[in-house]
Each structure stands twice: as C-alpha cells, then as structure tokens.
Amino acid sequence: MNKSVTVTVPATTANLGPGFDCIGAALTLYNEFKFTRLDPPQPPSVPRQSHGNEGGLRITVTGIEADRVITDETNLAYQSFLKLYQQINQTPPPVHIEINLGVPLARGLGSSATAIVGGLVGANLLAGSPMPENEVMKLAIAQEGHPDNVVPALIGGCRLAATNATDWEICDIPWHEDIIPVVAIPDFELSTAEARRVLPTEYSRADAIFNTAHLGLLLRGLETGNPDWLQAALQDKIHQPYRQALIKGYDAVKDAALASGAYGMVISGAGPTLLALADASLAPKVATAMGNAWKEQGVKAEVLTLEIDSQGAKVCI
C-alpha cells in the first residue's frame, strides 16, 4: 500500500443561477492535501509531543487563511478520511495531513467540498483503492448533503446531478470554450447555514416553472455559447432573490458586470463570491469593472478570470 499520496482538488461554483443544489462546475483554483502514513505511536513511556488522536494524527496547514483551519480530529478532511475507512470496515492508520490552501474559506467556492473529496480520495488510495470512484462520489454526496459541489470537485467539468430512486445520475454539461467564468471574491464571509436560513420553505408553481425553463435554457446556452440564451438563462427565482440582500454591493457589482459586457452575474454557491460569465474577449474588462464596483462600495475583493477544470481531483503518488 502507498506510504504517501497527494490529492489536488479544484474549487467549484454551484447553482449557476437557476440550477439550485443540482449543478456545479470545477474551476482552475485548488486546494492540495497530502496524506502520509505514520508509524504507529510510540509507547506512552517514551516522551513525545501529542498531536491529537493519541499520536495518530498530525495536521499542518499552509496557504491563504491557514491559521483559521482546525488541526484536530474535527478537521473536515480528516473526518472524511475516517468516513472512508469506516465504510470499508478498516482501522484508519496514523496519518500526517498537509494542507495547502488556494481556495478561500466560506466564500461560496466549495472549500468544504475540496476537504471532503480530498479526505475520501486520500483515504481510499492509502487503503489500496478498495472503493470505486462512483462509490466515493456517493459517499461525498452523503457527507456534503447535496451534489452540486462535490461531484465536479471529484470528477471535474460542469455536472448536473439527479436522483434515480436510491442512486445518482450524473450528466456532463458541455461548456463552450468561449465562455469564461469571472469570480469576484470579497473580503467578507457568508456561511452556507445563514444563506439557507433566508430561503422560503415553499415556492409558487410559477416560480418552479420559471426555474425549470431557465435551467433548460442554461444547459443549451453553456453548450452553444448563444449570448441571448445565456443572458436569459442566468435568472433565478429560487434562491438568489433572497440571498442577494446578504451580500453588500450586490446590485452595484451586477450592474457593472452587465455594463461591461457580461452575459449575466450570479451568486457562486451560497455566496458571497459573485460569478459572471463573459465572452473570452470581454472577460478582463468584466473583471476590472466588478472589482472597481465593489471598491466603490467599500469592499476589498479579489477578482479572478478562471477556466473550467476538466479533470477534478488529481492524484500524485
């Protein structure tokens, strides 16, 4: 079995407007997780420094916001690591997890999904790969609670997920090469729990029909790059009208994105990161306009012009 494995997992943007909790895309922004099997803990009579789990766990974190990541047994990557071993009925080995963060925390870019996928994939590899990828995926969905982030984080691309009785059907969504995702990441956070609390428990038939039609149009717009379809398709009545009030400067940033030529702007995941889709020739202009608009609102933001990651979680042994 492997002594050490490294899993690189992409950030994700979920919902894409009307695809609430069912569609997401992997982006070219990454977290890296290295898992190294440790020797069994020494007997208690030998002086040593405890690193949690009676010497069976060590976690070190580097990169952006590294000091905010929990490094004990409650760390999400380690919890996922344990989950895989529980599923295969094996005792988890002592492990050193080295995390290098490139995805901002609690910003709507799937940072928790990277930890879940990284932990599951790393554990599966250290265990000798007893679990096929589709089973790892189902375990990730069960742990996250919905598929929109963990599925593209694991297998890459833009993916639509739907239940089929007790199983999942995963559909690859073609993404036209001229459509560029621009993400504007503010320097404030918005928890997923808070973003879900503002949503209503019931919706009208009209709103359900609206989102069904616009999700269908979105799928064709992403495939063809048709600008008229994309401009219409990014509208939503299920989550964004309720969440946008939680994001300072939302209207100003959206107006700036549209005025600079974006097809549209949506909330990335639960927010507060905002995602614009734009033609490749206009993406830099859109990025500048979004950053300036937030700056005028007193918000510091990092704006990135990214691409769709087609591979998902990548492994180095």
Which amino acid, residue 156? G
Report the alpha-carbon distance of residue 151 to residue 159 in Å, rounded.
Answer: 7
Report the alpha-carbon distance of residue 82 to residue 92 in Å, rounded.
Answer: 6
Report the alpha-carbon distance of residue 171 to residue 159 in Å, rounded.
Answer: 6
Helix axis angle, 76-87 relative to 133-144, nearest 10°? 130
Do the beta carbons of residue 117 and residue 140 sit within 8 Å?
yes
Query: Which residues are registered as beta bridge partners of 37?
Result: 95
Q: Of 120, 162, 114, 119, nearest to 137 (Cα)?
A: 120
Report the alpha-carbon distance of residue 105 to residue 100 in Å, rounded.
Answer: 12
Report the alpha-carbon distance of residue 275 to residue 96 in Å, rounded.
Answer: 35
| Mean pLDDT on 5-27 | 97
Report the alpha-carbon distance of residue 241 to residue 236 in Å, rounded.
Answer: 8
7 CB-contact burial (10 Å; exposed 0-12 / middle 13-18 / buried 19+): buried
- Residue 55: per-residue pLDDT: 56
Q: What is the mean pLDDT of the chain?
A: 93
Do the beta carbons of residue 159 and residue 22 sit within 8 Å?
no
- Residue 187: per-residue pLDDT: 93
With the C-alpha atoms ordered 17, 22, 25, 26, is the resulting torsion angle positive or negative? positive
Q: Look up residue 245 and give its DSSP letter.
A: G
Task: Please write the tens of the pLDDT for every residue from 116-172.
Answer: 999 999 999 999 999 999 999 999 999 999 999 999 999 999 999 999 888 899 999
Q: What tokens were used for 196?
A: 């879900």
Report the alpha-carbon distance of residue 134 to residue 161 in Å, rounded.
Answer: 13
Q: In what order do the strands lie in the sheet with 179-186?
A: 264-267, 274-279, 179-186, 301-305
Helix and strand element counts for the chain (H, E): 10, 11
pTM (predicted TM-score): 0.92
- Residue 2: per-residue pLDDT: 63
Task: Please write the tens of the pLDDT for every residue from 272-314.
Answer: 999 999 999 999 999 999 999 999 999 999 999 999 999 999 9
Report the alpha-carbon distance of residue 231 to residue 278 in Å, rounded.
Answer: 10
Report the alpha-carbon distance of residue 49 to residue 12 in Å, rounded.
Answer: 37
- The confidence band for 192, taking pLDDT boundaries of 50, 70 and 90, is confident
pLDDT at 252 over 70: yes
pLDDT at 42 over 90: no
Question: Between vectors from CA 308 to CA 81 and to CA 75, what angle results, nearest 5°?
Answer: 20
| Preceding peptide of 272 cis, ω within 30° | yes
Which helix (DSSP H) or strand (DSSP E) does residue 316 occupy? strand 314-316
